């Protein structure tokens, strides 16, 4: 099982750039671990794609159904004081936005604060760097397509 960031899940589910690198990772995983608010971030990304005319209504509805299915099946790290405290530390140590700090903090809690050997799947450049510095094995290993800004997803 790997911890999946919202950026990676949205890229995979919506067939965005780089999804070919993510598909084998998803197929290898018996399950995924996610932050409690990941389904909200994914829905936000799906709705943004719809608003940008990158998805049609029917495709967006299917994507939202897939997001709901993942939310039901995933190992979710709940919103808790320990996650909030770790997220504040992530903000002090790394160049991250609040939601990304919460993603990484959740992954740390999921790994019992022993990230060595645990995998973190993300397409967000800043989050990938921070996760690597925290000791996670960051996937996909191939260089992620470069984009301006910190994130490779429309979240």
**pLDDT score at 55:** 94
pLDDT in tens, 63-110: 999 999 999 999 999 999 999 999 999 999 999 999 999 999 999 999
CATH number at residue 59: 3.40.50.1010
> Is position 149 within any domain?
no
On the question of pLDDT at 111 being above 90, the answer is yes
- CB-based burial label for 19 (10 Å; 0-12, 13-18, 19+): middle
What total of structural domains would you count in the chain? 1
**pLDDT score at 146:** 52
> Is position 23 within any domain?
yes
Structural domain for 21, as ranges: 2-139
> Is position 150 within any domain?
no
- Whole-structure pTM value: 0.89
> Is position 146 within any domain?
no
pLDDT in tens, 122-155: 999 999 999 999 999 999 987 666 543 444 444 4
| Torsion angle in degrees (nearest 10) through CA of 108, 27, 48, 42 | -40
Helix (H, G, I), strand (E, B) or coil at 93: helix
> Is position 38 within any domain?
yes
> Is position 115 within any domain?
yes
> Is position 145 within any domain?
no
**pLDDT score at 144:** 60
More confident residue, 119 or 149: 119
> Is position 153 within any domain?
no
**pLDDT score at 17:** 84
């Amino acid at each position: 099982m790997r911890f999946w960031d919202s950026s990676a899940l949205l890229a995979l589910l919506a067939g965005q750039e780089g999804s070919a690198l993510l598909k084998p990772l998803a197929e290898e995983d018996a399950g995924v671990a996610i932050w409690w608010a990941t389904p909200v971030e994914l829905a936000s990304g799906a709705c943004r794609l719809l608003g940008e005319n990158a998805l049609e209504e029917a495709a967006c509805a299917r994507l939202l159904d897939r997001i709901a299915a993942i939310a039901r099946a995933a190992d979710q790290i709940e919103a808790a004081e320990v996650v909030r405290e770790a997220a504040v530390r992530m903000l002090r140590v790394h160049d991250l936005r609040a939601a990304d700090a919460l993603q990484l903090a959740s992954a740390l809690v999921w790994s019992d604060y022993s990230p060595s050997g645990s995998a973190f799947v993300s397409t967000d450049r800043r989050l990938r760097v921070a996760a690597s510095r925290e000791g996670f094995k960051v996937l996909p290993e191939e260089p992620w397509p470069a984009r301006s800004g910190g994130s490779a997803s429309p979240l």
